[in-house]
């Protein structure tokens, strides 16, 4: 079984959404405990197996859905990850991290060449992703990664709208690129030295200015 090592910062983010009670006490469900242990070890497949076995008994526990979504996301199961994070925000609408991962997972599905979906479905996923990042920003306006990833989603929507085909719409593509530029510029107000964002900003402007 493939095991993946991930940074402690990433795991800290995954676990930071736990309720105070969940952080202080061992979960009563043995499958949740086993899933947590596997997740801490970077063994996402095993974590998924145990956390899925904890359902439907833990269907009302947002923390368990979050851990399952996080494990699915790290394992590359983006569609299922988005479904899990959708359940998290339904149970806990103030979970900004769940909105972030839900948006990121949907964006990944939207741009994947392996996704068996049409342009309309890709557009819907990207628009959902943008809406989720916007929701998260409304709750935490000082998190640079939210603007960065929303900018990426706007750029991807611009690419979709700017390519020849059924989805082509130059005006909509231009608007999406402009919004991507705004978000990337916002990220640079947090840290003007970020070369990666400077590059993404330039690319978004080039894509916009070269629309046919």
Which CATH superfamily does the domain covering 95-212 fall into?
A: Tetratricopeptide repeat domain (1.25.40.10)
pTM of the model: 0.89
Q: If pLDDT is split at 50, 70 and 90, which confidence band does 22 have?
A: low
Residues of the chain with CATH 1.25.40.10: 1-93, 95-212
Select from 3.30.70.360, 1.25.40.10, 3.40.30.10, 3.40.50.720 the CATH code of 1-93: 1.25.40.10
The 10s digit of each residue's pLDDT in 93-132 is 999 999 999 999 999 999 999 989 999 999 999 999 999 9
Q: Report which DSSP code applies to 18.
A: S
- Please report the DSSP string for 167-207 in residue order: T--HHHHHHHHHHHHHHHHHHHHH-TT-HHHHHHHHHHHHH
What does the mean pLDDT of the chain come to? 90
Contacts of 93 (CB under 8 A, 6+ apart): none
């Amino acid at each position: 079984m493939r095991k993946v090592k991930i940074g402690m910062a990433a795991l800290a983010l995954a676990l930071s959404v736990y309720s105070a009670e969940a952080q202080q006490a061992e979960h009563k469900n043995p499958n949740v405990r086993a899933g947590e242990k596997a997740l801490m070890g970077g063994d996402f497949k095993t974590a998924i197996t145990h956390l899925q076995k904890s359902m439907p008994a833990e269907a009302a526990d947002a923390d368990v859905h979050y851990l399952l979504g996080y494990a699915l996301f790290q394992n590359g199961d983006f569609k299922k990850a988005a479904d899990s994070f959708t359940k998290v925000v339904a149970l806990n609408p103030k979970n900004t991290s769940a909105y972030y991962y839900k948006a990121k997972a949907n964006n990944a599905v939207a741009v994947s060449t392996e996704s068996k979906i049409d342009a309309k479905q890709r557009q819907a996923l990207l628009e959902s992703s943008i809406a989720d990042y916007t929701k998260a920003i409304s709750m935490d306006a000082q998190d640079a990664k939210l603007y960065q990833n929303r900018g990426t989603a706007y750029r991807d929507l611009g690419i979709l709208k700017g390519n020849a085909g059924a989805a082509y719409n130059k005006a909509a593509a231009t608007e999406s690129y402009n919004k991507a530029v705004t978000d990337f510029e916002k990220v640079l107000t947090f840290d003007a030295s970020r070369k990666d964002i400077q590059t993404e900003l330039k690319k978004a402007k080039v894509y916009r200015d070269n629309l046919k």
